Amino acid sequence: MSGHQFKLYHYWRSSSSWRVRWALATKGIECELVPINLLTNEADQPDHLQRNPLGYVPVLEVLQKDKNAWLLTESTAILEFLEELYPEPALITGDSYQRARIRQLAQIINSDTQPLQNPHVVEKFSTDPAQKLQWSQLWIRKGLQAYEIVAKGSAGKFSIGDTVTLADLFLVPQCYNALRNEISLSEFPLLERIYSHSMGTDECKKSAPEIFKPSGQ
């Protein structure tokens, strides 16, 4: 759809940001990317808190001629918004049952896995690196085990058949986080297969963290 310009406030290694970058790449949507450094307290500064009172990324800024800029947070809301504006190629596909399954898989990661290993949360639990790692591993394993069981009924090359869907946009960045937390994907053979297939696709590669890594981070 014409008439929209987008800015995405993101962090290169944020899994929630990667979901949105991947959707933008899949749908061929032009977007200015504005880095927010989560390693400093940039996300907690007034400028960013005005964009997102939670102090998180991603944030999508929507600019339209003769209108005030409009801000949207929460990757799920951003992805559904982009899906409505740019329905093709679709990321939420199939009949009501399949679309519900796609959303279910996405929420296993979005609601029940990623928030528990978000640095803000982990740091409240402990300051000891070994305990922090154990905590993150516990929740990542629980989430990925559940995902593996649910996806068994539907997976092909991706989580649902052989075409990328919204579910993969949540799964693959979470698998990347699992690796960062010293969990081998061999524990989840189906997810390992989906991860390695996805990482070979152009849209996933174009949106992957390393592409956006600032020098010195």
Ligand X SMILES: N[C@@H](CCC(=O)N[C@@H](CS)C(=O)NCC(=O)O)C(=O)O
Q: Which is nearer to ligand X, 155 or 166 (CB)?
A: 166
The contact pattern for ligand X, residues 155-194, with x = CB under 6 A and - = no contact, is: ----------------------------------------
119 contributes a contact to ligand X by CB under 6 A = yes
Enclosing H/E stretch for 64: strand 59-64
Place of tokens 């929420």: 107
Of 73-81, 88-96, 140-148, 204-212, the window that binds ligand X (rule: CB under 6 A) is 73-81
118 contributes a contact to ligand X by CB under 6 A = yes
CA–centroid distance for 94 within its chain: 22
8, 9, 64, 93, 176 from 180: Cα distances, Å: 24, 23, 39, 31, 6
For 198, phi then psi, to 5°, come to -60, -45
Residues contacting ligand X: total by CB under 6 A? 15
Q: Which is nearer to ligand X, 11 or 86 (CB)?
A: 11
Of 23-31, 74-82, 137-145, 208-216, the window that binds ligand X (rule: CB under 6 A) is 74-82
38 contributes a contact to ligand X by CB under 6 A = yes
Query: How far apart are the C-alpha atoms of 181 and 179, rounded to whole Å?
Result: 5
Q: Which is nearer to ligand X, 174 or 201 (CB)?
A: 174
Site residues for ligand X per CB under 6 A: 14-16, 38, 43, 56-58, 74-76, 110, 118-120
